[in-house]
Amino acid sequence: MANERLRILEDVEKDIAVVLQCAGNIVLELSKDKHNASFLDRQLVQFQTSISRVENELGAQIRYLTQVATGQPHEGSTYSTRKDCQMSLNRAEYAKVKLGELGRTCEAMLEQQQQI
Amino acid sequence: MANQRVLPQSKETLLQNYNKRLKDDIKSIMDNFTEIVKTAKIEDETQVSRPTQAEQDHYEMHVRAANIVRAGESLMKLVSDLKQFLILNDFPSVNDAISQQNQQLRALQDECDKKLTSLRDEIAVDLYELEEEYYSSSYSQWSSTDLPLCEAYRRRDSWASPDSSSSSTQDDREEADRTPSQEANAQHHVNGHGTTATEKP
């Protein structure tokens, strides 16, 4: 859900860039002696679409935040589960180390017996 | 209480400020663009000479174009502020993210512990045999107070069925006397955390 909202804001940023791009293209086309009317129309439609999308999306985000925001900081954390998981991984690592020692001890004994 | 009342107002003021910035920037872009397009129209009758009018229009278009760019940049800054505000104050999504992360970590922990438990079960049999071999060899230096795993299991079996062997009733009594400490030591050793007197050769 959080990623979705942030992704929407990323799209809004792209739309703002499109607005400026379209405005620049329209002015550039108007500066020529002969204008391409269809190009102008397309750019204008895109300009209007993008700017209305920017306004609507940002307004919606601000309305959502007005409903959801409190004055308090969030005090949740994943510390306890992260700690438990880390302890579990440490147990596994310790078991691995001990098994390694056991294996080396057994191999050393076997080599000793073979030499004898 | 006064502090609690202040904070929500500042949040509300902040959001009203965001609204105002949004409306002002959109209005600025639309107005300036409209004026640029209007200025682009060539008029036959002008109040000043054509070159002067052209120069004026040129300057005006520059200024309006700069205003459009400034408004666009202000909108980008607004989006950045909204992203920051969202990350810090959107509690539903923060709660979702926390619970999702907790779920993943718990799943990883359960998997790890399950694998360790199965490993323990597999190794217990081999360890039993290894200890039996080791402690019955000449290398072991264990004391009577520190039982190896195999001996602990053997004695526990004999405690579990006292009628099974009558040849060592006295031993059983002695063992019964020593039961709490031996069993504690056995348990201590069985769990694998005890300090043993055995040394590797």
Does a structural domain hold residue B175?
no
Does a structural domain hold residue B166?
no
**In this structure, are residues B196 and B146 in contact, taking their beta carbons and an 8 Å threshold?**
yes
Beta-carbon count within 10 A of B38 CB: 8
Beta-carbon count within 10 A of A40 CB: 14
Does a structural domain hold residue B35?
yes
Give the nearest partner residue to A19 out of B29, B90, B113, using CB atoms. B29
Does a structural domain hold residue B144?
no
Does a structural domain hold residue B48?
yes
B94–A contact, CB cutoff 8 A: yes
Query: CB A95 to CB B119 under 8 A?
Result: yes
Which of B5, B10, B93, B22 has its CA nearest to residue A62?
B22
Work out the pLDDT band at B139, boundaries 50, 70, 90.
low
Give the nearest partner residue to A2 out of B29, B72, B93, using CB atoms. B93
Chain A residue with CA closest to B14: the answer is: A66
Show residues of chain B in contact with A84, CB under 8 Å. Answer: 105-106, 109
Work out the pLDDT band at A115, boundaries 50, 70, 90.
confident
A36 or A71, which is more confident?
A36
Q: Comparing B42-46, B114-118, B142-146, which segment has the lowest mean pLDDT?
A: B142-146
Does a structural domain hold residue B141?
no
Taking the C-alpha atoms of A59, A65, A67 and A71 in order, what is their torsion angle to the nearest 10 degrees? -140
B40–A contact, CB cutoff 8 A: yes
A2-60 tens-digit pLDDT: 688 999 999 999 999 999 999 999 999 998 888 899 999 999 999 999 999 999 999 99
Q: How far apart are CA B50 and CA B53, in angstroms?
A: 5
B5 or B17, which is more confident?
B17
A43 or B195, which is more confident?
A43
B11–A contact, CB cutoff 8 A: yes
A73 has pLDDT over 90: no
Average pLDDT over residues B161-190: 45
Show residues of chain B in contact with A105, CB under 8 Å. Answer: 200
B190 has pLDDT over 50: no
**Predicted ipTM beyond 0.90:** no
Looking at every residue in chain B, the average pLDDT score rounds to: 77
A32–B contact, CB cutoff 8 A: no
Please tell me the distance in Å from A25's CA to the nearest CA on chain B. Answer: 12
pLDDT of residue B72: 96
Q: Which domain holds residue B73?
A: 11-136
Average pLDDT over residues B184-194: 41
Dump the DSSP string for A74-89: P----HHHHHHHHHHH
Entry pTM: 0.64
Q: Comparing A67-81, B6-20, B78-92, B177-191, which segment has the lowest mean pLDDT?
A: B177-191
Query: CB A54 to CB B26 under 8 A?
Result: yes
Mutating which of A65, A68, A72, A104 best tests the B interface, going by the most B Cβ atoms within 10 A? A65
Total number of residues shown for chain A: 116
Dump the DSSP string for chain B: -HHHHHHHHHHHHHHHHHHHHHHHHHHHHHHHHHHHHHHTS--S--SS-HHHHHHHHHHHHHHHHHHHHHHHHHHHHHHHHHHHHHHHH-HHHHHHHHHHHHHHHHHHHHHHHHHHHHHHHHHHHHHHHHHHHHHTSTT----TTS--HHHHHHHHHHHH-TTS--TTHHHHHHHHHHHHHHHHHHHHHHTT-SPPS----
Query: Quick one: B183 exposed, middle or buried, by C-beta within 10 A (0-12, 13-18, 19+)?
Result: middle
B35-59 tens-digit pLDDT: 999 998 887 777 888 889 889 999 9
Does a structural domain hold residue B125?
yes
**In this structure, are residues A30 and A16 in contact, taking their beta carbons and an 8 Å threshold?**
no
Q: Residue B9 has which token pair?
A: 């107002």
B85 has pLDDT over 70: yes
pLDDT of residue A1: 62
Q: How far apart are CA A20 and CA A7, in angstroms?
A: 21
Please give the tally of structural domains in chain B. Answer: 1
pLDDT of residue B136: 86
Does a structural domain hold residue B191?
no
At the topology level, CATH places domain A1-72 in Methane Monooxygenase Hydroxylase; Chain G, domain 1 (1.20.58)
Domain extent listing, chain A: 1-72, 75-115
Residues 55-84 of A with CB under 8 A from B: 55, 58-59, 61-62, 64-66, 68-74, 76-78, 81-82, 84
